[in-house]
Amino acid sequence: MKPIAQRIKELAAEIGFSECGISKATYLEEDHKHLKDWLSKGYHAGMQWMTNHEEKRVDPRELVPGAKSVISVLYNYYLPPKRSDDALKVSMYAQGNDYHFVMKRKLKSFIHLINENIAPVNGRVFVDSAPVLDRAWAVKSGLGWVGKNSMLINKKQGSYFFIGELIVDLELPPDQPVTDHCGTCTACIDACPTDAIVENKVIDSNLCISYLTIENREDHIPEQFKGKMDDWIFGCDICQEVCPWNRFSVMHQEKEFIPKFDLDIDAESWLHMDEDEFRIKLKDSPVRRAGLEGIKRNVKFVIKE
């Protein structure tokens, strides 16, 4: 009979996850120190929820009593957008349906298959929607290393993927972390137009275009960013676009991530959109997170640069 961990990884592959790794459910001491330092410096900007549930973020047993293992998975979303000359930029991950729902369904299927085919297991699924340090668990599970841009980088496919976890009460042999392969490369640091990468692997969200265009709930973008937004109105992919490891990215095979919203539109189209059109047209899109007024704020700021 195949080892249980191998069987679990085969099930993950059947569902469509491109990578799967396992780590022991334990307290993340070093990551806790980094989190405290990051928060103390105010690098979380207006994301006040990052200060909540600190213990749960660093110990999965606080989220799932009796947890023994964390099973981490990666799901590819790479599909370079086709942009017309006058279109404003939306991050690649937002072209299709909201990944939270897509990933959560797949993770629920995953835990069901484990129960059905391997062993009874109790646990929960997580997709960037609860206090879980996704990248930390992916690193511990051997799925990659954290690059200088703070993104998880996988040697086989770069960084264009979503991360999800199963935290379960099943004792499994853990995988080993891989080594860092960024070396002396500073492509991401050099390319960031707002200098948001303030330290190796540390992002100051106050300076990050992704934060400014999505999570920023103010009615304006600070004037210091004039001329630096590079036409991004939802998210930003610059630090990934220049990463040498992303030359290994391959097109995803997920039909729900195929663009079904016309995001290749100009400033006037965004500014003339009303709430009904926004709600219907972008019904299942991650872009809804910024809200129509947030998108219009971003568009106005960019076109006045």
How many residues are listed for the chain in this entry? 305
The alpha carbon dihedral of 160, 165, 171, 177 has a sign of positive
The domain ranges of the chain are 4-78+96-168, 187-303
Residue 152 has pLDDT above 80, yes or no: yes
Digit-coded pLDDT (tens) for 41-97: 999 999 999 999 999 999 999 999 999 999 999 999 999 988 888 889 999 999 999
- Please give the structure tokens belonging to residue 247: 């030359």
Count the Cβ atoms, other than its own, within 10 Å of residue 26.
Answer: 16
Contact of 214 with 289, CB cutoff 8 Å: yes
Give the pLDDT confidence score for residue 294 in this predicted structure.
98
Q: What percent of the chain is predicted at pLDDT more than 90? A: 93
Find, among 124, 75, 116, the residue nearest to 252 by Cα. 75
Active-site residue 169, yes or no?
A: no
Which 8-state DSSP code applies to residue 205?
G
Tokens of 255: 């039909």
For residues 258-283, give the mean pLDDT: 92
Query: Which pLDDT band holds residue 197 (cuts at 50, 70, 90)?
Result: very high
In contact, 159 and 240? CB cutoff 8 Å? yes
Active-site hit among 128, 134, 230, 284 = 128
Is 291 buried (19+), middle (13-18) or exposed (0-12) by CB count in 10 A? middle
pLDDT at 1: 56
